Amino acid sequence: MTHQKPASFIRSSGVLMHISSLPGDYGIGTFGKKAMDFVDFLSTAGCTYWQTLPFGPIDSYNSPYQSFSAFAGNPFFIDPELLQTQGLITREELENARYNGSPWSSAFEWLRETRIPLFRKAYARCTPEIKTAMSEFCDQQAHWLPDYALYLAIQSSEEGRDWIDWENKDLKNRQPAAIKKAQEHYTEEIQFQIFLQYQFHSQWMTIKEYANKKGIQIIGDIPIYVALQSADVWKHQSCFDLDENGHPNHVAGVPPDYFCTDGQLWGNPLYNWEAMAKNHYQWWMRRLEHALWLFDTVRIDHFRAFSAYWSVPGDAETARNGEWLPGPSMKFFDEVFKQFDFSKPRIIAEDLGVVDDGVRTLLEDTGFPGMRVMQFAFIEDGDNIHYPHNYASNTVAYTGTHDNDTLLGYLWELAPGQRDYAFDYINYPCLDEAWQQGGSDSPSCHAFIRCLWQSPAKVAIVPIQDLCGYGGDTKMNRPGRAEGNWTFRTTEESLQSIDTDWLRELNRIYKR
């Protein structure tokens, strides 16, 4: 089937920073004034894009890539100040919501203890007008929100157990009579969860509308897989490769790579693509529709799985003993092009890792831009696709991603010969130890960013850590390690120290 090629990006630039990393007083970045301030910063610097990580509720390790919903938002992003302006919490309660610990990391454990009780107080004070707006929002999101809210209510009553381990087998298997009874029994808790999602989405759409009016577009992120312990798998069990008890026959991961010698065993259930094709991939189409409402463009993580995916036995301890199986390829994207308008850029394909002819053909057939990461250029021998001189124009290029070290940390980890060559490549005169200097005026970080901005890639993205010249201790994620990730935050003082004149001039010189 032929389709019109999607519109390509204009030559532009942006910054990668997750909502959780925004500065603020409440233990984590929120959809409040600091988010609008960051939009103002991007606009002043002449950038076009703000890229975030996935918005879903986080798992016990705080990962946004293992969410228990493909549609719901992380309630920790709800801004307490906006609740106070609605009259839902008192001034004293707002003051008590301030976090007195380190501003450099998200206080996830403290948030789990304090934020939900605060939200329950806010919900108890809902006005009739808010309840009407909640009901209208629930009707608009009827394909996921009622089941998601019910799922959390049941899970709470089941002492947090995953749905496959629920004692009530009728609820586990979604028997209609049991579902109806649970809906009636957990009415109040269901309404509370709807309240959280209404607040999340309302607050975010205010930020997005503000950004769009300022000329800033939002790039969101869709994880390719969802967690087994999610409302999506519970509701749509036939769409996943599960046995009769709900356990995955095979799970997702990637073979051994640069990040992990045993590969990465993600553990997500794989899709039953044959079953999904029967209703034209309806669940995925709704997922994309929701994402393209929240964001202007979405990056699909691990895009290569649509060509072929790494299938690992469900009881495996590492990802080494898997096999490549064919994905839905263009059959899936033919449906995407039927249902969505691509008169502006809508999808970025994360095509990192093992890339073969099948992935390259799929990218060419869809017309989506792929990704390049400058850090990868200098850790491999010979010429490779991650050197800026090799970038195709239909590319989104990064100094690094959330899975990479910061630029400064990366430079420290490079072998001396690799580092010397990298400096030669970016035309950085490394005559002394000045490259070790961190901070927003770091000369080595500036040289790398300038080199990326010079490249043919239509879009150049820099993580906020590299603009601030931070070291490796601010790395967002270490693939293959579950604990100690996703906590990085920056401060208002650090953002204000960034030379916006320098960045704006860089955008002017290199036509971004």
- Residue tagged 């503000």 (tokens): 210
188 is catalytic: no
Q: Active site residue: 40, 403, 492, 499, which one?
A: 403
- Phi/psi of residue 260, nearest 5 degrees: -155, 120
- List residues bridging with 463 in a β-sheet: 16
- Helix, strand, coil percentages (3-state) for the chain, rounded to 5, are 45, 10, 45
Tokens of residue 296, six digits: 């202007």
Q: How many CA atoms lie within 13 A of 217 on its CB side?
A: 18
Q: Active site residue: 350, 351, 405, 466, which one?
A: 350
- Phi/psi of residue 236, nearest 5 degrees: -120, 55
501 is catalytic: no
CA–CA dist 97, 80 (Å, integer) = 7
CA 116 to chain centroid: 22
381 is catalytic: no
* CA–CA distances in Å: residue 192 to residues 108, 128, 133, 142: 21, 14, 14, 16
CA–CA dist 449, 375 (Å, integer) = 11
CA–CA dist 379, 15 (Å, integer) = 24
- Residue tagged 């897989």 (tokens): 225
Tokens of residue 370, six digits: 């792929």
End-to-end CA distance of the chain: 35
CA 128 to chain centroid: 34
CA–CA dist 339, 282 (Å, integer) = 11
Q: Which helix (H) or strand (E) holds 370?
A: strand 370-373
Q: Active site residue: 301, 334, 335, 466, which one?
A: 301
Vertex 73, ends 245 and 305: CA angle to 5°?
55
Q: Look at the alpha carbons of 347, 325, 250, 235 in this order and tell me if their dihedral is positive or negative.
A: positive
CA 271 to chain centroid: 20
495: closest CA among 436, 448, 439? 439
Please identify every residue annotated as catalytic: 301, 350, 403
